[in-house]
């Protein structure tokens, strides 16, 4: 069994005296592990750091075996990411989510989203909002996507301001008024799509609260898991940064 692919490293751990088991989010083979012989050497280990983009060749006698990787570096991101706290907390949060995916289950959309995220993960003005969007994408890939395109009550795409915690569907501002204490806030940067406006601190917190609610309900709690502590640190860092005056 053999294939070639490309992907982003999300983790590694030592194996024996000199090898590592490398965990990569690949384009066509999903989250996939493989053994890298000599991976702990001074020459190779810096290439195998989380966040780096790599080309892979995987080989095993049988498909269900761990197999071995041959790895070539495409783009080194790790040195840039490791000096930015928002990147460290963000990468740990995202990697923890990706590990909830079944191994070897292809998710090409998540691979593409991860590539975009890695490119901006050290930018405090952009990364938190991109991570919220990535969490929304994870929910959708796992079968729990939110419907934020139009109001669940009126069918209108206009003036969407809240989300029903029961259905995961958006609600417009007029329709939400009698039920404000029962609904989750829908921040403008999610309601308006991919716009370039920087979210306010309140919008960022509302975005993380929205995704956090559904991640806990559908992903973490059914598995007996808690949110990774890095997510709380990321949210606090994003809040403090967004509150700083710009210019």
Domain ranges of the chain: 2-77, 84-148+186-243
The pLDDT confidence band at residue 220, using thresholds 50, 70 and 90, is: very high
pLDDT of residue 215 exceeding 50: yes
pLDDT tens by residue, 165-194: 999 999 999 999 999 999 999 999 998 765
pLDDT of residue 12 exceeding 70: yes
Average pLDDT value for residue range 32-37: 97
CATH fold for the domain made of 2-77: OB fold (Dihydrolipoamide Acetyltransferase, E2P) (2.40.50)
pLDDT tens by residue, 111-160: 999 999 999 999 998 999 999 999 999 999 999 999 999 999 999 999 99
Secondary structure E strands in the chain:
2-15, 19-26, 31-36, 53-59, 68-75, 160-163, 170-172, 184-185
Nearest residue to 96 (alpha-carbon basis) of 63, 131, 124: 131
| pLDDT > 90: percent of the chain | 89
Lowest mean pLDDT among 106-110, 137-141, 235-239: 235-239
Q: Are 28 and 5 in contact (CB under 8 A)?
A: yes
Q: What is the pLDDT of residue 191?
A: 85
Q: What is the pLDDT of residue 244?
A: 56
């Amino acid at each position: 069994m053999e294939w070639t692919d490309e992907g982003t490293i999300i983790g590694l751990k030592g194996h024996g005296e000199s090898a590592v088991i490398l965990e990569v989010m690949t384009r066509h083979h999903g989250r996939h592990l493989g053994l890298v012989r000599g991976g702990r050497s001074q020459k190779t280990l810096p290439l195998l750091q989380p966040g780096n983009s790599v080309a892979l060749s995987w080989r095993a006698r049988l498909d269900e075996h761990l197999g071995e990787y041959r790895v070539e570096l495409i783009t080194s991101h790790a040195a840039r990411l490791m000096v930015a706290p928002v990147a460290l907390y963000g990468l740990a949060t995202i990697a923890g989510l990706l590990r909830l995916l079944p191994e070897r289950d292809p998710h090409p959309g998540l691979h593409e989203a991860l590539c975009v995220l890695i490119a901006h993960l050290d930018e405090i003005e952009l990364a938190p909002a991109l991570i919220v969007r990535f969490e929304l994408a994870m929910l959708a890939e796992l079968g729990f996507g939110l419907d934020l395109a139009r109001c669940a009550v009126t069918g209108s795409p206009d003036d969407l301001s809240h989300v029903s915690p029961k259905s995961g569907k958006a609600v417009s501002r007029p329709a939400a008024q009698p039920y404000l204490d029962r609904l989750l806030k829908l921040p403008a940067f999610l309601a308006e799509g991919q716009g370039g406006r920087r979210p306010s601190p309140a919008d960022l917190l509302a975005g993380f609260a929205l995704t956090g609610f559904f991640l806990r309900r559908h992903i973490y709690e059914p598995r007996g898991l808690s949110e990774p502590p890095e997510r709380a640190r990321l949210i606090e860092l994003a809040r403090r940064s967004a509150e700083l005056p710009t210019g």
